[in-house]
């Protein structure tokens, strides 16, 4: 099997490429310096030359606040780029895996027991729920999904959320890096009213492999099991790493950002589960495995 991966230097693609190679799959990696997915002719020519069995489009403009400022770039990469890779996949008659996001939803879905802070349970979003993105990033990714569906019938659209891995920048590395900041003796405020599911990129890589070898095309949610707030995730990072950092919970309103963040980013892997294809683990167990594998290296961020 031959797989072409775009966005090859990104956080998800790095673990994905490594995992697929471990499973004896030939990888044709392309970063943005070697494949500009916003250029249709370039995308088609490279795809025809590579002749892959599967294209996995990991390329995206993921700077959520940056998308608010650079709107044209957001739509060029996340929407038109997705369309170009879908057209390319159709022309070479291969499958397309396209990575999308929880940000296609508005995050306003309610909670069970909302009056009880200790036992709030967010109602998860299902694959068939109507998107209602509240940011340029979310809307550009939703347009990208729509264009993929229009251009390539043999597609897997995979929505995921709260990714972390050994490569790239993510929440885990941000928290670890706080102990080295000049303000390391001051408390760090972390949002405690946004819910989601931390998901290790290597777990998602394994899930992508399990799905892409099937013919069960469509839209899927793929995150780890369970949920937490950003504050609770930070607590787990501190606990596992043993770092000395004081964190204080705060609300979304206390931590304003240019782009609106969804308060409920919890996704239900229903489409995977009902077909016996859900291999995503519990998020806490997975984070401990991640730390066992990469903790020695990451501890350098806390010194």
How does pLDDT run across 218-234, given as a tens digit for each residue? 999 999 999 999 999 99
Residue 184 has what pLDDT?
67
Active-site annotation holder among 61, 137, 164, 220: 137
Work out the average pLDDT over 92-109.
97
Could you tell me if residue 86 is inside a domain?
yes
DSSP 257: -
Could you tell me if residue 247 is inside a domain?
no
Range of the domain at 104: 2-171+198-224+261-282
DSSP 264: B
Indicate the length of the chain as a whole number: 303
Share of residues in the chain with pLDDT > 70 (%)? 95
Residues 6+ apart with CB under 8 A from 18: 202, 205
Could you tell me if residue 234 is inside a domain?
no
Could you tell me if residue 291 is inside a domain?
no
Residue 77 has what pLDDT?
98
Q: Is residue 61 annotated as a catalytic residue, yes or no? A: no
Whether 13 has a pLDDT exceeding 90, the answer reads: yes
Dihedrals phi, psi of 61, to nearest 5 degrees: -95, 105
Work out the average pLDDT over 102-122.
80
Coil, helix or strand for 138? helix
- Alpha carbons 64 and 61: distance in angstroms, whole number: 8
Lowest mean pLDDT among 25-29, 92-96, 116-120, 173-177: 116-120
Whether 143 has a pLDDT exceeding 80, the answer reads: yes
pTM of the model: 0.95
CATH at 206: 3.40.50.720
Count structural domains, the chain.
1
Could you tell me if residue 9 is inside a domain?
yes
Could you tell me if residue 233 is inside a domain?
no
Could you tell me if residue 192 is inside a domain?
no
Could you tell me if residue 268 is inside a domain?
yes
Residue 99 has what pLDDT?
98
């Amino acid at each position: 099997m031959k797989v072409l991966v775009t966005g090859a230097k990104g956080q998800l693609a790095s673990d994905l490429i490594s995992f697929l190679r471990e499973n004896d799959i030939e990888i044709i990696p392309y970063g943005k310096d070697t494949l500009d997915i916003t250029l249709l002719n370039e995308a088609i020519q490279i795809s025809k030359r590579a002749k892959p069995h599967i294209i996995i489009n990991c390329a995206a403009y993921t700077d959520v606040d940056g998308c608010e400022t650079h709107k044209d770039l957001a739509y060029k990469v996340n929407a038109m780029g997705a369309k170009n890779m879908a057209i390319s996949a159709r022309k070479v008659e291969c499958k397309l895996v396209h990575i999308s996001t929880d940000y296609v939803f508005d995050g306003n879905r309610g909670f069970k027991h909302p009056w009880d802070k200790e036992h709030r349970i967010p109602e998860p979003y299902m694959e068939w729920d109507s998107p209602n993105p509240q940011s340029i990033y979310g809307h550009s990714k939703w347009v990208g999904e729509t264009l993929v569906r229009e251009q390539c019938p043999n597609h897997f659209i995979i929505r995921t959320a709260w990714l972390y891995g050994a490569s790239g920048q993510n929440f885990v590395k941000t928290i670890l890096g706080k102990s080295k900041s000049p303000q390391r003796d001051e408390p760090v405020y972390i949002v405690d009213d946004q819910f989601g599911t931390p998901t290790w990129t290597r777990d998602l890589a394994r899930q992508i492999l399990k799905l892409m070898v099937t013919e069960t095309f469509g839209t899927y949610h793929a995150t780890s099991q369970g949920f937490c707030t950003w504050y609770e995730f930070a607590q787990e990072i501190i606990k596992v790493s043993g770092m000395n950092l004081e964190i204080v919970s705060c609300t979304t309103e206390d931590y304003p950002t240019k782009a609106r963040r969804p308060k409920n980013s919890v996704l239900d892997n229903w489409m995977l589960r009902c077909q016996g294809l859900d291999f995503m683990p519990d998020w806490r167990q997975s984070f401990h495995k991640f730390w066992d594998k990469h903790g020695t290296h990451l501890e350098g961020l806390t010194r």
